[in-house]
Structure 1
Amino acid sequence: MPIKRKEQTLILHPQRKEIYKILCETPGLYFFELSNILSLPQGTIDWHLRQLEKANLIKSIKFGGKRVYYPRNLRTEEVEKAFTAIKHPTAKKIFSCIANNEGTYQSDIARELNLHHDTVRHHVERMIEAGLISKYKEGRKTCYKLGPLGNRIQEESISSISDTYVSALIDILEDNCLVPTIIEKTKKSLTIRIECPGHQDTTFSISLGDWVLGEVEEEILSEKKEQVDSLA
């Protein structure tokens, strides 16, 4: 029986490895954003995403009517939703306004930021769904404040590679007859050498930046695209 070509499975495939790396290093990515970063046909990207999801390396969720992809065990679904909800510059301004003015009203936000009430309502509803902010009644008015997730993300970094993530990744690789060895692991970076008997070894590395909700999304995605293009 012929030996299965393991270099084309999981993250041994160079394109699939790059897709997985980007998802690890960039929270809350939609498909079209991933497509903009990579110089690959959308059908190819979709194929690799399905293979990664089938191998339990990534998950996808529907949020805001679009599908978001993220690595299993590295960040939680709620964190991915939070970063997706806060991508838009207007959403960032609204979140900051609420964070700095606890108990503010929708009319206050609209007036301070010079936004239409419907625009404020749209972004606020997405942030409530993500757990970033919460609302409560004060008389007849609805007030807004940071929700549990909004407070937690402001108080602690999500840029941490847990032992749970590393253990799960190692298990998946070993279950597919590969031989992974941890070369380096810190709170923010991980490098693994992956051996496949009879084939050339490869390495997989990720490095998590100091992600904060106030970062400019366009700059992040542009930087990722430049990194990918430099490897092409």
Structure 2
Amino acid sequence: MTHREEILQYIRKNPGITFRRLADELGIGIGNLQYHLYQLEKEGLIFSKKLGGKRYIFPKEFREEYEPLLIAISNETQRKILLLLAEKDMNQREIAERLNLTQATINYHMNALSKLGLIEKRKEGRNVIYSLKCDIEIIIRVINEYRPKLWDKLADRLIDLMLTLKGGDIND
């Protein structure tokens, strides 16, 4: 298998992968990877999107409607925010408290999610309330289809949370 075929196959298995992550995971030099990606894009086999200083790469057959969601769930903080908003609409302070992050950090991620078209905001008095613009079932489907490894991480965290609430240890 050639480098280019290996790269294309990896992108098909990991749509929305960032350029840097692709280089790291395949162990290919930056210049070499740039050349092959340019050729693949020129041949119409892949396309890429730049957002927030990162380049996300997709196979040509990828469903365009999932692009923004896949970009967002690739970022841990944004994924957590989406899952929180799936529970209920919240303001920035509530999200910051739940995630134990600063409001400035949450503001940055809310702006990114807003640019992706995944959330909407509305004013209620002095508060800005954020809500999901996409269906939670679509989020689940995208995670399941395109990022199945995330389910393992989410399941591990759920087990840890349950053990913490129970006050136990896995070895009990």
2:83 match: secondary structure: helix
Taking the TM superposition and a 5 Å limit, the aligned residue runs for 1:89-100 are 89-100=76-87
CA change 1:217–1:134 in 2 (3 A) is farther
User: Are residue 139 (structure 1) and residue 74 (structure 2) matched?
Assistant: no
Q: 2:44 maps to which residue?
A: 56
1:69 match: secondary structure: strand
The 8 Å contact of residues 133 and 145 in structure 1, kept in 2 or not, is answered as yes
The 8 Å contact of residues 52 and 58 in structure 1, kept in 2 or not, is answered as yes
The 8 Å contact of residues 92 and 107 in structure 2, kept in 1 or not, is answered as yes
Letter in 2 for 1:210: E
> How far did residue 139 of structure 1 move?
2.3
- Which ranges in structure 1 are unaligned for 5 or more consecutive residues? 1-12, 160-208, 219-232
Taking the TM superposition and a 5 Å limit, the aligned residue runs for 1:70-109 are 70-76=58-64, 78-102=65-89, 104-109=90-95
Distance 2:124 2:149 in 1: 29
**% of aligned pairs identical?**
34
- Give the alignment's Cα RMSD to 1 decimal: 2.7
Distance 1:85 1:213 in 2: 15
Write out the 4+ residue segments of structure 1 that deviate beyond 4 Å after TM superposition: none
> How far did residue 214 of structure 1 move?
8.7
> How far did residue 56 of structure 1 move?
0.8
Greater strand content: 1
User: Are residue 39 (structure 1) and residue 27 (structure 2) matched?
Assistant: yes
> How far did residue 68 of structure 1 move?
1.4
2:145 match: secondary structure: coil
Distance 1:17 1:68 in 2: 18
> How far did residue 112 of structure 1 move?
2.0
Distance 1:50 1:86 in 2: 25
Letter in 2 for 1:123: H
Q: 1:210 maps to which residue?
A: 145
Q: 2:113 maps to which residue?
A: 127
CA change 1:214–1:114 in 2 (3 A) is farther
CA change 1:212–1:70 in 2 (3 A) is closer
The 8 Å contact of residues 81 and 130 in structure 1, kept in 2 or not, is answered as yes
Report which of the two structures shows the higher radius of gyration computed on alpha carbons.
1
- Which ranges in structure 2 are unaligned for 5 or more consecutive residues? 154-172
Greater helix content: 2
In the alignment, which of 138, 163, 166 is matched to residue 153 of structure 1? 138
> How far did residue 51 of structure 1 move?
0.5
Distance 2:152 2:35 in 1: 26
> How far did residue 92 of structure 1 move?
2.1
Q: 2:96 maps to which residue?
A: 110
Number of matched pairs: 154
Distance 1:158 1:113 in 2: 23
The 8 Å contact of residues 85 and 123 in structure 1, kept in 2 or not, is answered as no
> How far did residue 210 of structure 1 move?
3.0
